[in-house]
Amino acid sequence: MAGKFELDDVVTNGAAKNGNGNGHSALSHAGAAPTLHDANVQEIYAELLKRIGEDPTRDGLKQTPKRMEKSMAFLTKGYEQSVAEVLHDALFDVDYDEMVMVRDIEFYSLCEHHLLPFFGKAHIAYVPNGKVVGLSKLPRIVEVFARRLQVQERLTQQIAEAIEEAIAPQGVGVVIEAQHLCMMMRGVEKQSSATVTSSLRGVFKTQLQTRNEFLSLVRAER
């Protein structure tokens, strides 16, 4: 999309406004044709619809740029969140040194290569070292990183690193099982494949018994 960003009247019919709702658009500038930098998010989505051969003025698509903007904001809200904010008052001193595990944490994310969804379950375990985190916070940590453009390998590592930094446990293990629509809807089009990634740290990496216990719990029948 080099050079001028061409927009026609489809983005001046009221369907596209900027995030402040004040009605300004790239086309509100008098004189020269607007550039891509001038366009707001909804105008860009309207242009994308045109470029795939659609008509953004037809009834079914008039509100689509607005919906796309809201949808993408929700699906990538992790950029506006931090682990520190999620955990703030949910760290507790506890005299417990056995494994803590939350498994089958559902998540949905977007592949950064094609912006297609991948989804599945995350399994998290850690061995405390004098401090534990509220159980509901583990799924929230997953959500912080899943609601960003991701690759599964990095997502797995980020979750493990966040728990390590938050409570300095004796060890942490994360396993993610996911299906990727970029493999199912396009490319090789394999419908039954699953991708499994893991990040094992501390005693989960150095102690065979701890690692085997964790992995056996991941594989156990639900």
Same domain, 123 and 53: no
Residue 198 CB neighbours (<10 A): 19
Tokens of 219: 């594989």
pTM for the whole structure = 0.83
Residue 11 CB neighbours (<10 A): 26
Active site residue 37: no
Tokens of 142: 């997953």
Question: Which segments of the chain does DSSP mark as H helices, in order?
Answer: 41-51, 64-75, 83-87, 137-146, 152-167, 181-184, 203-206, 208-219
Same domain, 56 and 101: no
Mean pLDDT value of segment 102-122: 97
Q: Is 3 within a domain?
A: no
Active site residue 123: no
Active site residue 182: yes
Active site residue 207: no
SS3 state of residue 173: strand
List the domain range (segments joined by +) for residue 115: 89-219
d(C-alpha 102, C-alpha 132), whole Å: 13
d(C-alpha 45, C-alpha 70), whole Å: 12
Rounded to 10 degrees, the C-alpha dihedral 99/100/101/105 comes to -160
Which is catalytic among the residues 111, 123, 143, 150?
111
Same domain, 112 and 204: yes
Q: What is the CATH number of the domain that holds 154?
A: 3.30.1130.10
The number of domains in the chain is 2
d(C-alpha 215, C-alpha 1), whole Å: 48
Percent of the chain topping pLDDT 70: 85
Active site residue 111: yes
Strands 100-111 and 117-127: antiparallel
Which is catalytic among the residues 81, 161, 177, 182?
182
Q: What is the pLDDT of residues 162-214, one digit of tens each?
A: 999 999 999 999 999 999 999 998 888 888 889 999 999 999 999 999 999 99
Same domain, 112 and 157: yes
Residue type, 181: L
Which is catalytic among the residues 54, 114, 177, 179?
114
> Average per-residue pLDDT in the chain?
88
Which is catalytic among the residues 24, 29, 88, 113?
113
Question: 55: exposed, middle or buried (C-beta count within 10 Å: 0-12, 13-18, 19+)?
Answer: exposed
Same domain, 57 and 120: no
